[in-house]
A and B are shown apart, each in its own frame.
Chain A
């Protein structure tokens, strides 16, 4: 079966711009989580959605937002980009019934802010 698809794979943006990243989960999965990965901070949780509802949110500023659609696809948006937002953004999908179980990650979107 198809895996988790993240688009685009690479992005270069300028400080102050905004960006939208997309995640298509595995068919049948109702949960999508987003993580930021940087060399200094590692993997950090951004938010998790289940059936269009945000169940949890990490400690990121309000510039980071997300949503999930009725077909379980999810988008995350970062407004007013800063140099420190440069990172690999990963999404993971699962059935969403047990924390951490059955999570499948996509290959990520590499965002570079210049």
Chain B
């Protein structure tokens, strides 16, 4: 079993819909939680960064962390075709090593 589990999708939604992504993990030492977006032929781009449990909102993006359930989520409101990309969850303890999920490929249809 992988340390971080993420459904690879693909996920296809119409423009304007809410995109819901999630990851589960097994390592209770993880304290730092991130969501990255990766376009084809590009490196991952940091979208959201959260320390410990709780919610964080930034524009159309909301990240949620539930450490008791070892579950993190990312919601994208009012999705746009430009949001079509692969979304990767990542997490870390204090060791400066990121453990990534497999990534979910999202397509937003115009």
Q: A-B pairs with CB below 8 Å: how many? A: 71
- When distances are taken between beta carbons in the complex, the residues of chain B under 8 Å from A55 are 95-96
A50 to B96 Cα, complex, angstroms: 10
Q: Which interface class (under 10, 10 to 19, 20 to 34, 35 or more) fits B?
A: 20 to 34
Whether the Cβ atoms of A103 and B101 lie closer than 8 Å is no
- When distances are taken between beta carbons in the complex, the residues of chain A under 8 Å from B88 are 42-43
Whether the Cβ atoms of B44 and A90 lie closer than 8 Å is yes
User: Per-position contact with A for B17-60: 1 when CB-CB < 8 Å, else 0?
Assistant: 00000000000000111101000011111100101000000000
Question: Which secondary structure characterizes the binding site on chain A?
Answer: strand
Contact of B98 among A45, A102, A104 (CB under 8 A): A45
Chain A residues packing against B (C-beta within 8 Å): 4, 31, 33, 35, 42-45, 48, 50, 55-56, 58, 90, 92, 96, 98-108
